[in-house]
Structure 1
């Protein structure tokens, strides 16, 4: 049995403040193929609201958001078909 694996790309925006994390995420995900995944590492709390909201509005899937440190998070996105 074959299990298809999705390509996972990474983007580290730690140390960046708005609007840069969202702008960098948008630029990176636009370069991906539909179905490919993007892991965004961040430490700016407002980005936990702006990136998922933008991603949903742009037709991408939010696969998960998790806290990875005292003030660090990981957002996992999947590029939509658009």
Structure 2
């Protein structure tokens, strides 16, 4: 059973700055309040930068889950 009811998954694996950050912001803008965005990343800087962008946009980081060696899933709730 999934932890979150994910509305949209954004896979930016293999991408480096600023692509994951820009794509995450773009995806958040298209979503409605209450929806959950799952972002798949493997670029360590994005693990720091994406949560900052999420907070600046007024949304909430539910969790940053390590899904493999240098791979993460960021769960974002749209406010």
Unaligned runs of 5+ in 2: none
Unaligned runs of 5+ in 1: none
- The structure that has the greater radius of gyration is 1
TM-score using structure 1 length: 0.87
> Hey, what does 1:63 align to over in structure 2?
62
Q: Is the 8 A contact 2:6 2:38 kept in 1?
A: no
Q: Distance in 2 between matches of 1:10 and 1:37?
A: 9
Q: Distance in 2 between matches of 1:79 and 1:42?
A: 19
Q: Distance in 1 between matches of 2:10 and 2:61?
A: 15
Matched positions, count: 76
Could you say if the C-alpha distance between residues 20 and 37 of structure 1 is closer, same or farther in structure 2, counting changes exceeding 3 Å? same
